[in-house]
Amino acid sequence: MSDKLSAAQRDSLQNNIKRQLKTERLNILEFFKEQNSSIVYIETYGADEAFVFYSGDEFKDDFITIWSGAAEISEEKNIEKWVKDHVPYIPDRLARCFTWYTIYRHD
């Protein structure tokens, strides 16, 4: 489900997120996209890694919401519910991808 960004796309997306977070330093760790929704896993160097969620043009639009922190296996249903409640129209597959990645990723 992880998508590739060209160097120009990565720069554009980083600049858009930096603008919204009002930060100078940011690194995109992963990018996930399905249909019109996307999730960007970022490192800001000033806080925990975070996921930012988009519906529409992630290169120009503001993100919808942000999630930071890990989760335990027992929280799987709650995490999937959270993302569906906070990100309108997110495809089920992308919501499940986020839930899995939040619980099982190992940085």
Q: Name the residue range of residue 72's domain.
A: 7-104
pLDDT band at 4 (very low <50, low <70, confident <90, very high): confident
Helix (H, G, I), strand (E, B) or coil at 33: strand
Per the domain annotation, does 54 fall within a domain? yes
Per the domain annotation, does 2 fall within a domain? no
Q: What local confidence, expressed as pLDDT, does residue 7 receive?
A: 94
Per the domain annotation, does 61 fall within a domain? yes
pLDDT band at 104 (very low <50, low <70, confident <90, very high): confident
Rounded to two decimals, what is the model's pTM?
0.91
Q: Which long-range contacts (CB under 8 A, 24 or more apart) does 75-81 make?
A: 75/103, 76/103, 79/103
How many distinct structural domains can be found in the chain? Answer: 1
Per the domain annotation, does 43 fall within a domain? yes
pLDDT band at 106 (very low <50, low <70, confident <90, very high): low
- pLDDT digits 0-9 by tens, 40-95: 999 988 888 999 999 999 999 999 999 998 788 999 999 999 999 999 899 999 99
